[in-house]
Structure 1
Amino acid sequence: MTAPAPAVPLPVTAPAVRPYQSYVYAYPHKTAYEPLPGRPALRDLWRGERKDALSLYLHIPFCEVRCGFCNLFTRIGAPDGLTGRYLDALDRQAAAVREALDDGADKAGEADKTDKTDEAGETGTGPVRFANAAFGGGTPTFLTADELNRLCDIAEHRMGADLRAIPLSVEASPATATADRLAVLAERGTTRLSIGVQSFVDEEARAAVRPQRRADVEAALGRIRDARIPVLNIDLIYGIDGQTPASWRTSLDAALAWQPEELYLYPLYVRPLTGLARRTAHTDRAWDEQRLDLYRRGRDHLLAQGYEQVSMRMFRRAGAAPQGPDDHACQTDGMIGLGCGARSYTSALHYSFDYAVDMGEIRRIIDDWTATPDFGRAVHGRYVTGDEARRRHLLQSLLQAQGMPVADYRDRFGTGPHEDFPAELAAFADRGWLHDGGAGPLLRLTPEGLAHSDALGPELFSPAVRAAMAAYEPK
């Protein structure tokens, strides 16, 4: 009897990569931050750092409502006096941070001298200057017009930022984009106003737990244009329950009617402890396909209307000037974050205060923060050096549509990206995500690579960051 022929193994097809895993707006994410041993003094952290082109961010953690998809550090409303106490604390923090920055910086009389290199090879710190500023949240325009003036005073008089001479971006919502608030922002030098619309279809807005009417949104956009702030950005979301290609096109065209200089297209995510997490359970591949289809439709429509793609999410009208760093493009370490939910970056450390999503925890953290007498130390954070710095640079550069010059990476780190991340870049090339298979002087994503930015980004997380994020217990 003849022995049976051995079975021929069937070809194994690699499972498709899920396109929506994590929005990597910063690396590492705050869920990887940990309490810093000894709470290092800010003056020690900033001593020896370049301070001549800092980014300044002021965080306002208040909203009139909380959208169902939101996992940002913000609370609904503010009891009497809370916004005033918050600004008092922000003023104290700004004074402490500015003192730390000034410690060791060049004196005013030496401000215009070229930085020298000392015998140890370290670059002089130079004068303190800000290259751009942003007010975010939460909703900065939750503050009254007078409070917004005070916020600008803190940025200018405490921190020394000349808001009328640098790009200033401010976030707003339709309900809070009132004429008096917009007038203050325009007069104080705002160059970009970003408004979260998400959908111009009332039923979709309700499905996203964002109570608003299209008529009110259109009225707010009219007030913004009347204020003559140079750049208008409109945020839209795709993947909302009940959304169709036709209704998505309705929102896109309604936004385009205002000829915004920028448009952001965000995929909907449902995160733990958010409003939608208690109502829906979107985990299936059908939802992935729906979002990917809507993304491609939105991308192609905006490109046909004369917009240029800057990143997966960001589109800029042709001819519109950039107003500050692009999405994911903060390559120069050096960011000052003021406020309870803000993060700051030195060249070696990212730090912030505590983080939460649950409303009760957020209220507790804000109350503790407003009562803080001394803001001279870093509390939570993560060191970003060596391999982590390389990952951050590659991740944030590669997620830009313009790509990353390999020479820039080599100049900064002394090695090439293919030497440092051979497995990751080979996998991206095999999936068709890299132009020219990743060869050549420019490492750049293909259109499909950009479409899968939320899958590509997490694959560049280090094992240590992955472990820290996995160990984080949502609160």
Structure 2
Amino acid sequence: MTRTTPPTRATRTTRPAGTPRPYRSYVYAYPHKTAYRPLSERAPLAALWADEPKDALSLYAHIPFCEVRCGFCNLFTRIGAPGELTTRYLDALDRQAAAVREALGDAAPVRFATAAFGGGTPTYLTAAELERLCDIAERRMGADLRAVPLSVETSPATATADRLAVLAERGATRLSIGVQSFVEAEARAAVRPQRRADVEAALGRIRDTGVPVLNIDLIYGIDGQTEESWRRSLDAALHWEPEELYLYPLYVRPLTGLGRQAPGQDADREWDEQRLRLYRYGRDHLLARGYTQVSMRMFRRTDAPALGPDDHACQTDGMIGLGCGARSYTSRLHYSFDYAVGMREIRSIIDAYTGTADFSRAEVGRWTDADEARRRHLLQSLLQAQGMETADYAARFGTSPFADFPAELARFEALGWLDGDAPGGLLRLSPEGLAHSDGLGPELFSPAVRAAMAAYEAK
């Protein structure tokens, strides 16, 4: 069994009483799906989207299959796809796309400004199945994949030449590969079996496609990882001159491989300090090598090409999610399908999805009100390194974030998390504020969302 006790190299640091832990929750969307619930009345999609702006939508297709499940992964994905499961899944995705496009109607312009295929691992699909996925996005939904930024996730084992060729030809502008560590012992500790030679070969094939943006995901906080081994992974990634790098802190969540082996590890303060130390080392290493920090996790090469005319704003524009793990956003309702982490439950949800004939209504989600809209806007703006123009907030909501969230912003300021040197009218995090994004974000969750998340029973 892989040892997963927290590293002991870190020196314990005493934090002021009441300071949020730095690694509480990865806030990539608000509210989290654990706050979603089955809707008492299944909402017709046509009514939900009737009055929504539809001229700068985001399209996301979720493929819930992987060749192996990493020990840290709590994403909605299953290992393998027996029989004709991928065919049945794409059949269902096609039915869902047809129903959603009909619900969007033609009374107002419908345009997709950005698109992404995620998972799971979209390149688990064969080259022919990827062609079909692109056809669904284009012919059913009306997305022009060659005219908008299209991001696709892949893995070392599935980044084959034929699959990558399909994606490049169909308009992919960004390929993101999860490497996590170039040190084989660390990959094994994270329950991610891979050989470095296979990783390097996959990166070579990605570069051969000519797709303009390569992103490499790396993880820090793995058992046994040190500044020296972390630097080796960073430098191995930098050898490929990726346009983007994402640095993720390791989390151990319930029902994951690591979570079953080491319950309670996520509460260890020494591990927090180790992750913070490695984060700062990685951040400084990339900044010194020509990268700009976009968020706590994202770093972009200063000379990287623009992905295209992306005019979608996650704070204000709608999102269409296709697939059983995808979310969709309107101004009033965030909705999806049921959510699980355990493999048995995931298999059951996928089977139910592939057997669904009627996709015309939302079944699971969370209604939003004006307060939640303000929280989401502030959260998703503040966690970006560029910050938020308070004038934009005022134009949308008719008020000030300092009036709406006085206690929270005062606390962030007292902790040194706000940038006191930001230009007038710009609310921006300090470097330490960015470092504590995963502690800061949950502080902005509403009491109702916190209660719903706390009441959620993991399955």
Fold match, TM over 0.5?
yes
Does residue 162 (structure 1) correspond to residue 162 (structure 2)? The answer is: no
Q: 2:25 aligns with which of 22, 27, 41?
A: 22
> Structure 1, residues 167-188: CA drift from partner, whole Å, max 9, x if none?
1000000000000000000000
Alignment of 1:287-436 (within 5 A): 287-323=271-307, 330-436=314-420
Amino acid at match of 2:129: E
How far is 1:333 from its partner?
A: 2.7
Structure 2 contact 60–115 (Cα < 8 Å) conserved: yes
Structure 2 contact 252–259 (Cα < 8 Å) conserved: yes
Q: Which has the higher contact order (CA 8 A, sep 6+)?
A: 2
Is the partner of 2:137 in helix, strand or coil? helix
User: 2:129 maps to what in 1?
Assistant: 147
Distance (Å, rounded) in 2 between the aligned partners of 1:308 and 1:82: 42
How far is 1:385 from its partner?
A: 2.1
How far is 1:436 from its partner?
A: 1.4
Distance (Å, rounded) in 2 between the aligned partners of 1:278 and 1:402: 38
User: 1:458 maps to what in 2?
Assistant: 442
Q: 2:161 aligns with which of 179, 182, 188?
A: 179
Distance (Å, rounded) in 2 between the aligned partners of 1:439 and 1:470: 38
Distance (Å, rounded) in 2 between the aligned partners of 1:15 and 1:465: 21
How far is 1:256 from its partner?
A: 0.2
How far is 1:14 from its partner?
A: 2.4
User: 1:227 maps to what in 2?
Assistant: 209
User: 2:5 maps to what in 1?
Assistant: none
Amino acid at match of 1:336: I
Structure 1 contact 61–138 (Cα < 8 Å) conserved: yes
How far is 1:13 from its partner?
A: 5.2
Structure 1 contact 425–438 (Cα < 8 Å) conserved: no
Distance (Å, rounded) in 1 between the aligned partners of 2:209 and 2:282: 28
Q: 1:188 aligns with which of 142, 165, 170?
A: 170
Distance (Å, rounded) in 1 between the aligned partners of 2:339 and 2:37: 10
The change in CA–CA distance for 1:324 and 1:26 in structure 2 (over 3 A counts) is farther
Q: 1:469 aligns with which of 425, 443, 453?
A: 453
Distance (Å, rounded) in 2 between the aligned partners of 1:166 and 1:214: 33
> Structure 1, residues 78-135: CA drift from partner, whole Å, max 9, x if none?
0010000000000000000000001xx33xxxxxxxxxxxxxxxxxxx2111001000
Amino acid at match of 1:28: P
Q: 2:56 aligns with which of 36, 53, 61?
A: 53
How far is 1:16 from its partner?
A: 3.8
User: 2:10 maps to what in 1?
Assistant: none
The change in CA–CA distance for 1:442 and 1:467 in structure 2 (over 3 A counts) is same
Distance (Å, rounded) in 2 between the aligned partners of 1:384 and 1:395: 15
Structure 1 contact 33–381 (Cα < 8 Å) conserved: yes
User: 1:109 maps to what in 2?
Assistant: none
Aligned length: 442
Structure 1 contact 430–437 (Cα < 8 Å) conserved: no
The change in CA–CA distance for 1:321 and 1:385 in structure 2 (over 3 A counts) is farther
User: 1:210 maps to what in 2?
Assistant: 192
Amino acid at match of 1:41: P
Does residue 34 (structure 1) correspond to residue 34 (structure 2)? The answer is: no
Amino acid at match of 2:119: G
Structure 2 contact 181–233 (Cα < 8 Å) conserved: yes
Is the partner of 1:175 in helix, strand or coil? coil
Amino acid at match of 1:34: R
User: 2:243 maps to what in 1?
Assistant: 261
Amino acid at match of 1:44: A
Distance (Å, rounded) in 1 between the aligned partners of 2:207 and 2:423: 45
Amino acid at match of 2:102: E
How far is 1:331 from its partner?
A: 1.6
Amino acid at match of 2:47: D
Is the partner of 1:351 in helix, strand or coil? strand
> Structure 1, residues 375-425: CA drift from partner, whole Å, max 9, x if none?
000010111221000000000000000000000000000000000000000
Distance (Å, rounded) in 2 between the aligned partners of 1:295 and 1:467: 30
Q: 1:276 aligns with which of 258, 261, 264?
A: 258
Distance (Å, rounded) in 2 between the aligned partners of 1:43 and 1:13: 51
> Structure 1, residues 112-169: CA drift from partner, whole Å, max 9, x if none?
xxxxxxxxxxxxxx21110010000000000000000000000000000010111100
Unaligned runs of 5+ in 1: 1-11, 107-125
Distance (Å, rounded) in 2 between the aligned partners of 1:33 and 1:396: 19
Structure 1 contact 132–324 (Cα < 8 Å) conserved: no
Is the partner of 1:39 in helix, strand or coil? strand
TM-score by length of 2: 0.94
TM-score by length of 1: 0.91
User: 1:86 maps to what in 2?
Assistant: 89
Distance (Å, rounded) in 2 between the aligned partners of 1:97 and 1:407: 35
Identity percentage of aligned residues:
79
Moved over 4 A (4+): none
Distance (Å, rounded) in 2 between the aligned partners of 1:403 and 1:381: 29
Distance (Å, rounded) in 2 between the aligned partners of 1:129 and 1:432: 41
Structure 1 contact 329–397 (Cα < 8 Å) conserved: no
Amino acid at match of 2:363: V
Structure 1 contact 133–169 (Cα < 8 Å) conserved: yes
Amino acid at match of 1:50: P
Highest CA radius of gyration, 1 or 2?
1
Structure 2 contact 245–298 (Cα < 8 Å) conserved: yes
How far is 1:324 from its partner?
A: 7.0
